[in-house]
């Protein structure tokens, strides 16, 4: 009996010591957390690439864009809404490619046949293959070809315009509004507002980005817009036509591979185009780039913009190894079982994540890295649990983020665990088993 009483008293004594240690550790967690710092590099707002029109462009609105990311590398009134003339036809072309079939038979309506110059000169009832009309559209910029395509794909001019506007919204072009498939100056009243056929230089470049790099029909689009000349006939074989590409930049500049010109009295000369060089792909858009007789202004501006991109921007891998701190776990069980030790768990960027971020940057541009990790966690936590993010920013915009995972876990400290741990330690003491009476 005395032995049994002694065992109980000893167990109670050890339990009190153990819980006291636990209490000391738990109340001391604030000090542990105070020492744990969240790794975070101070974010600095990079200055814009340009603050004024340092290239002295003729265009009233212009943009140079990184086609792979949509980032504006140079802009002049790039968000100003303006008419865009026949640059409209890149949207007409890509929608026809995506919604139609190149072998479709297209019949000219009276509306199509009455479109003004520049036109193919179709007659009402005349039939053509859709493929041939797309070359007529993009090389010679024929307005009647555009209307035939629109009525064939959308059922009417209005129906096709609705498709164009929906596509613009899908691409994030919120400042673009289409009325005609050919880009002729137009306005209409919609929802109590007078709207004009218009876009911005930034939106127009985004549409071009889609046409050359993201559309499922990009290869067909590129084949058409890179063709220098093309000949075809109506389906009855009564008339024959030839087309020459008016995108002079294809011959003027190495790497130029797609584009579309435009002109109306309201829009002035316009141009949208694409150039590639050493893995870099740039798109530009020019709106209001002079009026007659200054037809060549757009080529001067285009060369300036593309050359600016080639001279100033190069790909750079901006990925950095980030030192991630261990995170204290409140009311967690130490792996050693000693309650006087703080519980810290390590973390890392996910192992499957690609450790490479290649960005098109100017020499003076820098990417900032910010680590968002909690200062402490509450037990229990599990290995592989997502607990934070490493964020890469350029000019304040997020360009890449990585999830942060725990590489170890920790169970929650409970009274039951304390009692079991105490008795386990007590029973492991030398000679203890020898004094427990046999029952």
Tokens of 13: 């004594």
- Going from the C-alpha of 176 to that of each of 79, 160, 164, the distances in angstroms are 10, 15, 10
280 and 324 Cβ atoms separated by less than 8 Å: no
Helix-strand-coil split of the chain, %, nearest 5:
35, 25, 40
How far from the centroid of its chain's Cα atoms is residue 294's Cα?
Answer: 37
- Tokens for 404, please give them: 């942060």
CA distance 316 to 361: 7
The string of DSSP letters for 200-219 reads -HHHHHHHHHIIIIISTTHH
Structure tokens given for 351? 């192992």
What is the distance between the alpha carbons of residues 405 and 345, in angstroms, rounded to a whole number?
10
Catalytic residues: 86, 89, 141
Listed residue (249, 229, 205, 257) closest to 91, CA to CA: 205
29 is in an annotated binding site: no
Sign of CA dihedral 386, 387, 392, 397: positive
61 φ, ψ to 5°?
A: -135, 140
Yes or no: say if 172 and 180 are a contact pair by the CB < 8 Å rule: no
Query: What is the β-pairing status of strands 347-349 and 280-287?
Result: unpaired
Dist. CA 288–CA 85, nearest whole Å? 10
DSSP state of 417: H
What is the full DSSP assignment across 139-151? Answer: II--HHHHHHHHH
Q: Which residues contact 42 (CB under 8 A, 6 or more apart)?
A: 368
User: Residue positions in the annotated binding site for substrate?
Assistant: 260
């Amino acid at each position: 009996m005395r032995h049994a009483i002694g065992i109980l008293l000893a167990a109670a004594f050890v339990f009190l010591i153990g819980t006291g240690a636990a209490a000391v550790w738990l109340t001391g967690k604030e000090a542990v957390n105070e020492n744990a710092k969240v790794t975070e590099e101070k974010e600095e707002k990079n200055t814009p690439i340009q603050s004024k029109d340092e290239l002295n462009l003729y265009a009233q609105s212009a943009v140079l864009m990184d086609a792979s990311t949509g980032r504006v590398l140079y802009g002049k009134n790039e968000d100003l809404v303006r008419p865009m003339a026949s640059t409209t036809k890149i949207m007409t072309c890509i929608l026809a490619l995506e919604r139609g079939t190149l072998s479709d038979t297209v019949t000219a309506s009276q509306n199509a046949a009455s479109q003004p110059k520049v036109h193919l000169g179709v007659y009402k009832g005349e039939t053509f293959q859709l493929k041939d009309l797309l070359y007529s559209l993009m090389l010679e910029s024929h307005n009647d070809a555009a209307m035939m395509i629109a009525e064939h794909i959308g059922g009417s001019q209005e129906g096709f315009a609705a498709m164009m506007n929906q596509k613009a919204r899908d691409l994030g072009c919120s400042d673009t509004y289409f009325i005609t498939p050919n880009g002729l100056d137009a306005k209409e009243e919609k929802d109590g507002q007078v709207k004009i056929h218009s876009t911005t230089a930034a939106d127009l470049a985004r549409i071009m980005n889609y046409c050359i790099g993201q559309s499922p029909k990009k290869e067909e689009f590129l084949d058409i817009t890179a063709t220098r000349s093309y000949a075809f006939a109506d389906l009855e074989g009564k008339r024959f036509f030839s087309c020459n590409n008016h995108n002079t930049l294809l011959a003027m500049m190495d790497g130029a591979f797609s584009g579309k010109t435009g002109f109306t009295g309201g829009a002035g000369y316009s141009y949208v185009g694409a150039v590639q060089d050493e893995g870099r792909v740039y798109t530009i858009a020019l709106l209001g780039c002079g009026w007659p007789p200054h037809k060549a202004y757009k080529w001067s501006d285009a060369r300036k913009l593309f050359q600016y991109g080639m001279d100033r921007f190069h790909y750079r891998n901006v990925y950095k190894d980030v030192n991630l701190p261990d995170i204290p776990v409140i009311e967690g069980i130490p792996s050693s079982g000693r309650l006087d030790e703080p519980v810290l768990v390590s973390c890392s960027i996910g192992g499957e994540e690609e450790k490479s971020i290649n960005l098109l940057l100017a020499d003076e541009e820098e990417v900032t890295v910010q680590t968002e990790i909690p200062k402490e966690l509450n037990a229990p936590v599990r290995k592989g649990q997502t607990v934070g993010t490493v964020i890469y920013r350029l000019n304040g915009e997020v360009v890449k983020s990585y999830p942060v995972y725990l590489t170890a876990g920790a169970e929650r400290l409970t009274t039951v665990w304390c009692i079991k741990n105490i008795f386990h330690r007590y029973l492991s003491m030398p000679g203890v088993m020898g004094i427990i009476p046999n029952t």
